[in-house]
Structure 1
């Protein structure tokens, strides 16, 4: 069923996005890769996927803070690949600081990339998905789309926004064969949190691994970070026919964080 479909994954040159790209390509799904790589490196990465998995690939390094760049990305994807059947809004960034000193430019950047970009890609994708009577939209939210944490005002606001956007789009698309869900991971072993871990290690004079354990268990009962591939495999399930009745959901993968 999924062989020959095309997936566009934002932020797919590292972390969750890259792991998801491998999982989907293994099933014969064509890929539009996106990320902040120099053009030559991005093209080379796309070529590696094409050769390894025998799928069609494309790379684009669109700046997701610019709606015009997103429109160009989506047009390029449809022109070269024929359609965007699966949209994974994964790109994101983080900055931690108290609200009263949180830099305005950081707020604007995080809201633009973590939330507004998803609105723009969804808006560009929906007409063709509806016309085809099939589509899968998976938004990578966070446990912080369900709960708050100090020093993460912009990130928490954006991820709560992603959960709300997911619900609205799911309601509007329920009769069109398009499912829309958000995944809410807890701690995931990606480069995004290495700075936080490093700061803890320095402040508390412990090793990097000890700092990682302290960070995880301060919030999450399961004392380990999730491998990004696990999220990719969950995304694959949400794309399957078995998941066609799952839509409008905020699905935790959080090691019992929100069970407390």
Structure 2
């Protein structure tokens, strides 16, 4: 357990440039402190001491502002940055090297009035290794977030997310798929890349505008063709009148 906690400290220092020392992380980081109470509460929970486990978890919540149900399954090297308002539900599963920012909810979507039928059922998300979830994001239901995926700040995710995808918006939509290993290893703070990202709505509007421009060009082309045909018809009619005029005059004299 202590080796695991030491690894947690090292992982936090690697991902937070504000961390100056291991002692600072131990004393001043609620994300580390809540992991201490969680590890103890989870041990109690797994050994059948459910009420003491919930009490220890409650103490951790009061001290840190982070709520982790003792029944949740959490891997190694979890980093909860800032931490206030984070909620991790009972059946949540979190892999290794995952990062969560403040205000993140890993919650359920099932109606609460039928709680008896939901006991021992999978109700909360599964986050695979290397996932980053930005501040205020809500990941709801028994969905699976693939390895190295990024959930942007304030996004709402209620469907499965593939590996290496970046999701933003409400409801969350994929805006970037990172395939290169170098991109997978790069840490993205708050799960939101700071470079140019294609906005799904703007992309749809841009596609419609391009279609409108294409239709307008086609209409202009058809109008030009119609005008040219009208000019040719007028020219033919004028030539016909010039040809038939003298003949009619001669016929009239006869």
Q: Which has the larger radius of gyration?
A: 2
Coarse TM-score class (shorter-chain normalised): under 0.3
Q: Higher helix proportion, which one?
A: 1
Higher relative contact order, structure no. (Cα contacts within 8 Å, ≥ 6 residues apart): 1
TM-score (norm 2): 0.28
